[in-house]
Amino acid sequence: MQAEDPSHPAPPPLGALLDDLEELVTCESYSADHAAVARSARVVADQGTRLLGARPRTLEIGGVTHLQWSFGTPRVLLLGHHDTVWPVGTLKTHPFSVREGVARGPGVFDMKAGLVQMFHALSLLPSLDGVSVLVTGDEEVGSDTSRALIEDTARACRAALVLEASATGGALKTARKGVSHYEITVHGRAAHSGLEPQKGVNAATELGHHLLALRDITDAVNARTGPGTTITPTVLSAGTTTNTVPARARLHIDARVPTPAAQTAVDDLLKDLVPHHPEARIEVAGGPNRPPLDAASSLSLFALAADIGDRIGIGPLRQTAVGGASDGNYTAGVGCPTLDGLGAVGDGAHADHEHVVTAEMPPRTRLLAHLVGALL
């Protein structure tokens, strides 16, 4: 193992990282609770200010609070989010804890440990000139208010490093599927289900035809554009009372696609749906949310990270493709080379067993510091 690069001091002790992790995790930040997100932003801003030596711009867009640091002319974007999927009050049942090398708590893995590692990594650099840091507050709900900010920032940079949690075993994420969301609404006609059901147009039955058709649409897209597309029906509702023919039915759909061509094909086929019943009416709302993150966008950055990992003795690094999306999809989508999964090592995003392997925090912090330094 080679000697430590004097331009990158040793990372802080684990205790300092865990103290800062506790500070972020114990400030709950449920995406749908804008007041909680604003409180979290203040805590994140104070922690970043202490470690980076500068206060961020606080940007409130559509009621959601985002944070941005810029040093000189931005060349490297570090991207993360401080919102979580956990409602306020989750700390009562999932308190922050560190036992036997494992940290637990709401949002600890996705992705507050990544924010802590990012701030500490940047604090190791002799200069932050060229660094842009963006911490958004609505990633978990689609980044509707922050997308333009992310894309505009990424267009000005030559690399984006995403502090989302790593994949299984600490693998970096070099490809992500794109995401599309749809809502199908069927309009029928109500009638008494006992006295004269024949006078109704059953929206639930009509929707059932389209629900089954999703399998054929998935097969058609995969045959046309290559394998990997999934179209998943998620939330379904119909009717008002048990003795009434449903006049309305709704279905939410989550589509995951490996390529832009597949995303376009899904959109075309879903929006071409026509009613089976001549008196029913169908509406299809929604469309693409995040474009795919193609592996080509990560190729050179992963090679650089792998070389650094070997050089500083924390390799070999692994890479993988995942079905989940992140704001890295947006940065790659505007042509900015992107490497994702540089955050925590652990498991259980959005699940009760969410956790971080604490021993991996210092080496991941060190890796990020070297990677940013090399890119600058």
The helix (H) or strand (E) run that includes residue 355 is strand 355-357
Tell me the three state secondary structure of residue 27.
coil
Which residue intervals of the chain are DSSP H helices?
Answer: 14-25, 34-52, 113-123, 147-155, 203-225, 260-271, 295-312, 328-333, 361-375
Contact indicator for 44, 67 with CB cutoff of 8 Å: yes
- The catalytic position among 22, 28, 139, 340 is 139
Residues in contact with 234: Cβ distance below 8 Å, sequence separation at least 6, in sequence order = 252, 253, 254
Chain centroid to Cα 210, Å, comes to: 29
Contact indicator for 363, 132 with CB cutoff of 8 Å: no
Largest Cα–Cα separation, the chain: 85
Contact indicator for 162, 118 with CB cutoff of 8 Å: no
How many other CB atoms are found less than 10 A from the CB of residue 310? 14
- The catalytic position among 22, 83, 110, 206 is 83
Task: Specify whether 139 is catalytic.
Answer: yes
Task: Specify whether 83 is catalytic.
Answer: yes
| Backbone dihedral angles phi then psi of residue 299, each to the nearest 5 degrees | -55, -55
**Catalytic site positions:** 83, 139
